[in-house]
Amino acid sequence: MLGNTFGRLFRVTTCGESYGEALFTIVDGMPPGLKLTKEYVQAELDKRRPGQSKLDSPRLETDQVEIVSGMREGVSTGAPIGLLVYNVDRQDIHVDQYRQVKDLIRPGHAEYPFFVKYGEHADWCGAGRASGRETVGRVAGGAVAKMILEREGIDVISHIVESHGIKACPMEFEQIVANYRKNDLNCCDLEKAEEMIADLGKVREEGDTAGGVIEIIAQGVPAGLGEPVFDKLKATIASGLMGIGATTGLEFGRGFDTARMKGSEWNDAPYLDGEHVRFRTNNCGGFLGGMSNGEELRIRVAVKPTPTISVDQDSINVMEMKEAKLSAITRRDITILPRIYPVAEAMVRMAVLDALYMAKGYDYFCRLDPKWKKMGEPRNKA
């Protein structure tokens, strides 16, 4: 299996499966001298841990992390950081449920391409590496990125803006921070959150699941991160977010609304604020030419409904090559929304930090007049 590492200078590699022994993360690029604690990483992992509300899968994983390398007497040494999380809720009854349907294609899951790629050796238990359980490693790596970004004054936060067609009101960054994680869904529009949660209760009663939309915001990102062609910051972030199994769509700034706008409506007009360049609007979502422009990054991700449902579905037994019926099995989230937003935060943090590493190294050799960097300082540093 290829493609288990994200990043170029700040690199995160993950391994482990849904019903394997453990999940492991290696982080390359950790600076020396930082006081990373397992409590700091644990706080991020607790955001996505299952079994915390009626919206989540009842799988009772504790997701307790251990930092097993790269630290000495509480301080990073500059060596790779190793992060280990054991799977603890792997009951035989659930393994047997998966074994009974291991030859069937589960609609909405990754079984079919897994059969094509790995044949009869494909991991059939809990979707293996295609399970949402895999994202534990991403969140652990993102926690390390968060610590480094905080030192640079960069903050990344995500929240739910739509669930099953119910939309939250647009909100400013400060409102989102104030209402962050104040309900089980992490919708910062507290009134709409109640409506969303009540609706999801009805969806559960039907034996079904629901999708939605999350928004990610990054503040403090300086202008000029990313490259003009293949390594645009926008493209790197897109790669990280679309690499999450449950994501199906992506928008930056006004996104698909731009298809219905004129250029005079969409263009963000610049103005001078002392020695800084600012923009009166942020239709572009903080990106110009795919690079950061110093405004806050605004990104929205469409999230599919959990594909495991309590409704019989058409399937195929690939060993017998016969059509079959798939009945509901095992545990599932009614909605992926309250557990995917910390994964999205992690991927954006990793992408921004990696671009920052690249930019700092390139800037050293360019040795431009400092006025250019002064001009591109982010809005919340002005």
pLDDT tops 90 at residue 14: yes
Residue 362's pLDDT is 87
* Residue 98: band (very low, low, confident or very high) from pLDDT cuts 50, 70, 90: confident
Residue 275's pLDDT is 84
Residue 26's pLDDT is 98
The overall average pLDDT reported for the chain is 92
Among the listed ranges 87-96, 254-263, 320-329, which one has the minimum average pLDDT value?
A: 87-96
Neighbouring residues of 157: CB distance < 8 A, sequence distance ≥ 6: 173, 176, 177, 180, 216, 217, 345
Report yes or no: 244 and 259 within 8 Å, Cβ to Cβ.
no
Q: pLDDT digits over 223-241, tens only?
A: 999 999 999 999 999 999 9
pLDDT tops 50 at residue 217: yes
Tokens of 226: 């990313």
Residue 268's pLDDT is 96
CA distance 145 to 142: 5
Helix, coil or strand: residue 224: coil
Tokens of 337: 């929304």
pLDDT tops 80 at residue 59: no
Residues of the chain with pLDDT > 70, as a percent, come to 98
Question: 5-381, what's its fold?
Answer: Chorismate synthase, AroC fold (3.60.150)
Among the listed ranges 149-153, 296-300, 326-330, which one has the minimum average pLDDT value?
A: 326-330
* Residue 174: band (very low, low, confident or very high) from pLDDT cuts 50, 70, 90: very high
Q: Which residue has the tokens 């644990």?
A: 42
Residue 382's pLDDT is 43
pLDDT tops 70 at residue 213: yes
Q: Report phi then psi at 158, rounded to 5.
A: -135, 155
Q: Which residues of 205-229 are buried (b: 16+ CB within 10 A; e: fewer)?
A: eeebbbbbbbbbbbbbbbbbbbbee
Domain ranges of the chain: 5-381
pLDDT tops 60 at residue 311: yes
Report yes or no: 220 and 380 within 8 Å, Cβ to Cβ.
yes
pTM for this prediction: 0.94
Q: pLDDT digits over 70-93, tens only?
A: 999 999 999 999 999 999 887 788
